[in-house]
Structure formats: C-alpha cells, structure tokens
Chains A and B, each alone.
Chain A
C-alpha cells in the first residue's frame, strides 16, 4: 500500500545545506566572534571538517544498513531494550530540537522586526506551516527544500556581493595571533551547527542512490562551509570582530548596510524570507524525523493522527522552554555538548559497534 518514498541527490544536498546554514549563518558570526574574534573563519573551517566526518559516519552507517534509518539501526544493533532506550533518546532529541528551533524562529522576529506582535502568533504560524508540510510527507517538503535552497543561497550571495565595496580585508589581520589552539574553544558550538544535518540519518534510506550520492553529500558540506565562511568573513570585514560580537543577528545589520540608488535600503524583507524558509525546513525535517522515529519504534499504523497533538505540544514547549533569547543563546552556547553528543558521538559509537559486530561476524563465518 505504501508507495516507496524517494528523494533525489540534489534534494539531499539542499536538505543538508539548509538545515545547517539556513538559520545559523544569521547569528553564527556573533557567536563565533565571541570565541575566536577575528579568526572565527578558522572555527568555521574546523567545524566544517568535523561536520564532514560526521556526515561520513551517517553515510557509512547507511551503507551498512541501506534500508534502515537511525532508529531501526539502534534497535537492530543494540537489541530491543538498550536499543529502544537509545532510540527513545534520539526521538526525544528530535522532538526537543524541533521546539528549540521553533522558539528560535519566533524569537528572531521579536528581536529583529517587531517586539509588539505577540510571540504566539509567530509560533502558531511556524507550527501550522510545518505541520502542513509534515502532513504531506518527505517527498513534498524535499521538493520545497530545493526551491528554498536556491532562494536562500541566492539571497545570501547577493547580500555578500552587494557589500563588496565596503569590506575592509585588513580587519582580519593579524591572522591567528593566539595560535591555532586557543580559538578552538568554540569548536563544540561550531560543530553543533554543522551537526544539524544529522536529520539526514533518517532521510538517507529514502535517497535514490547513485554513484554521485556521496559527492553530492560532500558538496553539501562544502557549500555549507563556504556560505558560513562568507557570512563570518563579511561580518568581520565589514564591522570588525568586536562589533560583530555585540550584535544579536549580525547579518541583519549587514543587510542594513546595503544601500541602492541613494534611497533604498533596509532590505530586511529578504532576510525575513530566508529565515522563515530555512527555519521551516529545519523544523519540518526534525518534526518529520520524530514522527518517523515514533512510527518505526512503536509500530504505529497511522502516524498522521499524532501530528496535531505533537504540533500542539511543540507550541507549548517552545513557549515555556526559555524566557528569552539570552537563555536560549546561553543554552546553545554552554550546552552544545548536548547537541553534539546526539549528532556525532552516539552515532559514531553506533558505527563502531556495527563495525565490531561485522568483524566478529566475519571472523565467526571464516572460522
């Protein structure tokens, strides 16, 4: 009865890229500047490298179990009890991160646009929009992701290009005056942004695989790194590291520096579009992953019935999760290990176990 869901390589690429840059590149320069000042580009590169490693972990896991998603792999590898607990952990993580991103989504408008409109409205708008997409399923929002990907990349590139004559490359010097090690204190948070692409662990089994799947996935991390790098570099070169650090959303200030034809400025609308679209993709994909996980784990026949209660839950969670952006940012900043452990450490552990299993299995077979 269930038609096999497939998505293309480009859709996979867009999904990876959008979930990792779409939202974080708007505030990344500020956060990274706190750790590495004018060398934040270095953190991006380091984060990108770890991100690539992280991606390969998922790709490898997927190659070993081509028709299983992360939840099923957990259950398969660790048995129903331990595996179930780990899988539940993952599902909890998916649910949790959905509400985090939702909150982040609404917080942006409060800060950058208009503090008068009540937050609930934004939350409702966000929930409804994502609920609708999840209702239609992976194939549909993967297609939307493609469009969003082009719009986002084009908008961001246009912003950086239009500012070309305002950059001061000298703001980047001296390069790495504190050495290579000290800036790496922010590696965890940088990694956690790249790690947002861990949603692919649930998606990979649906990708119509070709020889180029690997290349596309790698490219996705490449594009992510390049765009993140551009965002960090242009902020640093335009404002200087210290100033960048004081902004909440440096890119908002960045776009306000664009001035066309003497009179037209404040292209905030472009950023609003990027933000809404990227957040939409990010929330949707995690929401979908959570639902998919629940379905696989509890063997639910009609997961669609769970969508509306879950959506209401997200709304409430996001609303009462934190009291404001400060707390949100602090959590992201200080508790990055929480994200990274689910994004990177546990999956790597799973991979290790899988590899050991296979080795021992082989040995048993050969002996």
Chain B
C-alpha cells in the first residue's frame, strides 16, 4: 500500500516536472525596465520606449543602480501592442514591474491621457508607486538624458521628484494618484512636467529639470502651470512643505525666506443665490535666510511685521494666479466640485450639470497669514 502510494506520488511529481515549470522567469531571461517613455506614434498610434539597465559583465562586482543603460522602442496601435512588438527587438522578456517612472510626451497626452493610464494599469505588472511625468518634447529623448552620477534616468527622475519637498515646484505624482483622479473625478489631474536642458559644455542634451505641473481637464491636457502657479496650487492644497519666498527690498535686491511649514483651509459655501464661493486660508511659517539690503533694522518687530505683510501679498498673488489659470482652463485641481458635493449634497444635484459653466465664475477669496520665525539667529 505504502509503496503503491509512493509510486503514485513519484509519478505525479514526474508529470509535474516534465510538464515544465511554466510561468518561471529566471533572471537571466529578463530585461529589467526602469523607465518607460510614451510618445505619440504615427496614425494616432503609440510609440513606447523603455530604458533597460545593462548588466555588468561577469566577474565584476554588481553595481546596483550604477550600470549603463540601453533603449528599446516599439510602435503600435495600442500601448500593449507596442510593448509586445518590442519583444521582437530583444533577446529577453521585458520585466515591467520595476519601472520607476513613466514619462509621457505632451503630444501623447493630447491624445487623451486616460487611455494610456488605463493601458498601463491593465498591464498589471506596474507598481502603484510608479511616478508619472509629462514632457514638452519627446519622451524618448528624456530617457536618453544622462544626469551626473545617475546613469539610470529613472533614478534621476525619482530624485528630481523628491526635490519637490524643498522647492514646491514639483511633486511625486504616482500612477495610482493619476488613476484615482481619473476615475473618481474628485478633482482634475495634474502631472509634473520635466524638461530637457541643453548642457552648456557640450552638444549633448543631458540635464533634466522639473518644471511645474501640467494641468488637465478630465483627460485632456490644458496647459503648463509655471513655477508661481504651481507653488500657489500647493499652497492652496496645503501640501507644501518647503519652498523659497522672496520679497523685493530696494533695487534688484531681495529678502529671501525659507518656508518651514504651511497649511491651508479650504472652505466652500453657497451665497444667497446658491452660487458656490470658496475661501482659502493659508497659514505659513517662514525663516529668514538672506537679506541683500541693509541689515540695520533686521530683527525689529515692525520690520518683521512689514515683511510678513509683503509675504502675505506675495503668497496670495501666487494662489490667485493659480486660481485664475485654473478657472480659465476649467481645470478643477482643487476639487471644488467634490467639496461642494460633500457639503451640500442636495444642492449639488441641481448644479451638477451646469458645473462647467459655474466653475469659472466661482468666487475665490484668499487670505494668507504668515509668521516669520527665525530672523538672524546665526550660530
């Protein structure tokens, strides 16, 4: 009995083994994709470029993320087809699961970003935390840029996005964020922009720069928010953590402040006519970091008060610029409509259909309270 069951187990085991371990992907049969670039292709198609790390030759120490990279691209009617066609140009299967960054060209985004994002989500291997960028030019060119000390572009782009914490000019926008905004419609999508810079030393285009945000209306790209609008947006959202604020003092001279904390309160309410109004209250703490004009008065209460007022003005200017941009382009980045929905569900049903007309006429009022904390405490 025992021998028989043993034989049976053996037979089953052999069958399983000989049926081949399907689904196994050994690492030496894979190319690890680090960055994906999506460009508009011919005939309304899609061109996809992948940045793949070259593995260091045998015998050498593995270099982690310091290996050189190479590029593959494919073109097809859909993202999936393009990705599959890439396989014809390579000796190995591509592993998409480790793509850290997706760069979408503006041209591709104009086709409607929704379909690209959906296609990527459907690919299933992609991470939720994959970063998304939009670039003015060609995405494939962004991938080919080389940052010093970061040979893999994805690492460079990831590093750039983390810089947003101190500059408030960009932010980590991940695939899931974009997908959420796209589906939920709680607010419109924004995706950070990245730009290629000419390296002054050589002809080669090599440096990357983060450059504000692209705003969307649904899945249609509507425009680039430059630095001030971007900063204003983050201020209004209360998601700003560090930034630089300057106010003029004298001719061509400025006083600079470092933002240490900032939060905002967004209140929506309906006025007598049932039109939505929005009040944005911002509280910010700042440090004085450099004063270019004469320093004699520095540290006096009255001067600080004056600076604070100027800062209030400067910041609310930023925010208002952002609001103007947003209303002009129907890009409801702050999610005002959802806020109204949450607060006035009954009223919302009435104005839901007319929202596109209502939004540009919504009244915003901005109130900024800044506090200057440290002025000249040099250690």
Contact = CB atoms under 8 A, between A and B. Distances in A.
A221 B26 CA distance: 45
Interface in A234-260: 239-243, 246, 253, 256-257, 259
A39 B182 CA distance: 21
A257 B127 CA distance: 9
Interface stretch (B46-54, B107-115, B183-191, B360-368): B183-191
Interface in A168-216: 170-171, 173-174, 177
A230 to B, nearest CB: 20
Contact of A114 (B23, B176, B183, B342): B23
B22 A116 contact: yes
Contacts of A170: 342
A241 B128 CA distance: 17
A81 interface: no
A266 B183 CA distance: 22
B179 interface: yes
Nearest to A245: B183
Nearest to A166: B176
Interface magnitude class on chain A: 20 to 34
A345 B184 CA distance: 38
B342 A243 contact: no
Nearest to B339: A170
Given A173-B342, A240-B180, A240-B186, A117 B129 contact: no
B23 A243 contact: no
Nearest to B98: A266
A118 interface: yes
B205 interface: no
B3 to A, nearest CB: 18
B345 A174 contact: yes
A243 B129 contact: no
A114 B97 CA distance: 12
Contacts of B127: 256, 265-266
A243 B128 contact: no
Contacts of A241: 184
Given A116-B23, A174-B345, A257-B128, A242 B183 contact: yes
A118 B183 CA distance: 32
Contact of B345 (A121, A171, A177, A266): A177
Contacts of B186: 171, 240
A174 B179 contact: no
B184 A243 contact: yes
Interface in B18-37: 22-23
B321 interface: no
Interface of A: 114, 116-118, 121, 170-171, 173-174, 177, 239-243, 246, 253, 256-257, 259, 265-266
Given A174-B345, A240-B186, A256-B128, 20 more contacts: A116-B23, A118-B22, A121-B16, A170-B342, A171-B186, A173-B342, A173-B343, A174-B341, A239-B180, A240-B183, A241-B184, A242-B183, A243-B180, A243-B183, A246-B183, A256-B127, A257-B176, A259-B129, A265-B127, A266-B97
